[in-house]
Amino acid sequence: MSKRTLVVGNWKMNPATLDEAKVIVRKTRQAASELAHTDVVVCPPFVFISSFNTSTEAPHMYLGVQSVSPYTQEGPHTGEVGVHMLRDLKVEYVITGHSEERSRGVSDEEVSKSVSAIVHEGMMAIVCVGERQRDDAGTYLETLTQQIRSSLAGIEAKHAKNLVIAYEPIWAIGATEAMNPEQVCEMSIFVKKICADIFGPEIALKIKVLYGGAVNAENASSIITIGKVDGLLVGRESVHIDGFVELLRAVDVI
């Protein structure tokens, strides 16, 4: 079986209405049904999730969410959504540790608790990591290493099959240009190395590494082919549906 590319659309707090959300998901579903080598994950805001009929999705289109609570039991957690609540909604992927969450004070420890909850429910955890800035001394690599190790703390090797690592350098999120593909390749190898140190080389090779940060239809192909990543985490472009469809088609012919 050929290796499939994974493209995750993180809608963030978009769009404004349910009708707009339905248009985006309908057009994404249509595009996904035509893809031969690509899996697509749609991560809308929580308020739109129950309106999606996952039984009619394309064969390689999956429903995801943008975050989840580290709490695993019902209780006095106002505003929180637990991973155990998502099963009946057919959610299969969960983003955790996004830089926007981390900037609001979510710690590596909380991320690791969320990752543990996700994988124990049998869902796929998309674990976001990335440095805030680069420096000539390379200390950002130490920062990234610690972030990955701490975010995956306590995860057993048997659950590694439920992990996806999304490398998103914070300085590239929302920027006008993505990291150049050669640098993406270096960082993809580095992330795999850290995963190999944690789980062993054989297991690490099976963990998908995605790139995110200013991804669009024009640069998606080179990021994957030259950057040697397994897919993309797409933010703003995933709700600009015409551009997202173009991106999916560009990726699928690689």
Residue 139, both tokens: 């200390």
Cis peptide before 15 (omega within 30 of 0): yes
Predicted pLDDT at 56: 57
Residue 23, both tokens: 């248009």
Residues 6+ apart with CB under 8 A from 12: 45, 66, 100, 235, 236, 239
Reply yes or no on whether the pLDDT at 59 is more than 90. no
Among residues of the chain, what percentage have pLDDT more than 70?
97
Q: What are phi and psi of 125, to 5 degrees?
A: -95, 120
* Residue 160, amino acid: A
Predicted pLDDT at 36: 96
**Could you tell me the CA-to-CA distances from 83 to 21, 171, 234 in Å, in that order?**
22, 30, 22
Predicted pLDDT at 1: 45
* Residue 76, amino acid: P
- Of residues 231 and 72, more confidence is placed in 231
What is the band of 54 on the pLDDT scale with cuts at 50, 70, 90? low
> 136-186: per-residue pLDDT in tens?
788 999 999 999 999 999 999 999 999 999 999 988 888 888 999 999 999
Predicted pLDDT at 69: 93
Reply yes or no on whether the pLDDT at 239 is more than 60. yes
Q: What is the mean pLDDT of residues 188-209?
A: 98
> 204-236: per-residue pLDDT in tens?
999 999 999 999 999 999 999 999 999 999 999
Helix-helix angle 108-120:139-151, to 10 degrees: 40
Give the residue numbers marked as catalytic: 98, 168
Supply the mean pLDDT for the chain.
Answer: 94
> 104-140: per-residue pLDDT in tens?
999 999 999 999 999 999 999 999 999 988 887 889 9
Reply yes or no on whether the pLDDT at 203 is more than 80. yes
Task: Classify domain 5-73+80-252 by CATH architecture.
Answer: Alpha-Beta Barrel (3.20)
In order, the DSSP letters of 5-64 are EEEEEE--S--SSHHHHHHHHHHHHHHHTT-SSEEEEEE--HHHHTT--GGGS-TTEEEE
